């Protein structure tokens, strides 16, 4: 175990950067990672975070069987009950704070606090359960957040073309749609970059 308190172990077991933000950083941005239940939000934040991510996962019990819809989900034994949190330094001056929201309707009251101060949202979708994305889009738009779509393909039986995703979700033409594997750092990073570029374009 590393005895240096300034380093942290990342999700893949490697030693990440300092647990403290560099004194050179002058700007910070809050980004939400959102999506329906069991779409891969915790996994994506874990793949991107340079520090050990904060997770509030609990084991699923019999009490949740009639509350959480496991249709189309395999191997799901835990669920986020509050938030996931990670950090990613983009440059010497800019750091991103990643907040993952719970996907179940019973936790939607957390959104008000989570959305406050956020610049935008990366919306993860499962191509096999696109219909479950509509309530999340409604929430994002109700808080006035810009967003990008990240189609998580790591367990997908079929990958739909971008035009099909856009039509199914009734997206605006300028809403970015990218494909990613939430387990892979480079792939997840590509999705996050698409969101950041979209936010910069909208701010220009």
Lowest mean pLDDT among 17-21, 87-91, 129-133, 185-189: 17-21
Q: How confident is the model at residue 58 (pLDDT cuts 50, 70, 90)?
A: very low
DSSP string computed for the chain: ----TTEEE-TTSSEEEESSPPTT--EEEEEEEEESTTSSHHHHHHHH-SSPPEEEEEE--GGGTTTS--TT--S--EEEEEEEEEEEE-SSSEEEEEEEPP-SGGGGGGHHHHHTTEEEEEEEE-TT-GGGGHHHHHHHHHTT-EEEEEEE-TT-S----HHHHHHHHT--TTS-EEEE-TT-HHHHHHHHHHHHHHHHHHH-
pLDDT digits (tens, 9 = 90+) for 153-190: 987 678 899 999 999 999 999 999 999 999 999 999 99
What does the pLDDT read at residue 152?
Answer: 96
CATH homologous superfamily of 26-203 equals P-loop containing nucleotide triphosphate hydrolases (3.40.50.300)
Lowest mean pLDDT among 45-49, 82-86, 147-151, 192-196: 82-86
């Amino acid at each position: 175990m590393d005895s240096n308190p300034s380093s942290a172990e990342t999700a893949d077991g490697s030693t990440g950067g300092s647990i403290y933000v560099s004194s050179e950083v002058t700007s910070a941005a809050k980004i939400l990672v959102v999506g329906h239940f069991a779409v891969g939000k915790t996994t994506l934040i874990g793949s991107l975070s340079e520090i050990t991510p904060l997770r509030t996962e609990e084991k699923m019990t019999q009490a949740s069987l009639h509350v959480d819809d496991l249709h189309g989900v395999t191997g799901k034994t835990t669920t986020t009950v509050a938030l996931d949190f990670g950090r990613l330094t983009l440059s010497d001056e800019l750091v991103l704070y990643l907040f993952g929201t719970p996907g179940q309707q019973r936790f939607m009251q957390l959104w008000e606090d989570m959305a406050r101060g956020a610049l935008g949202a990366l919306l993860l979708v499962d191509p096999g359960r696109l219909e479950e994305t509509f309530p999340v889009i409604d929430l994002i738009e109700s808080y006035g957040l810009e967003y990008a779509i990240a189609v998580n393909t790591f367990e997908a039986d079929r990958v739909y073309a971008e035009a099909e995703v856009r039509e199914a979700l009734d997206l605006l033409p300028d809403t970015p749609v990218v494909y990613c594997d939430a387990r892979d750092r480079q792939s997840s990073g590509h999705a996050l970059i698409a969101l950041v570029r979209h936010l910069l374009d909208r701010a220009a």
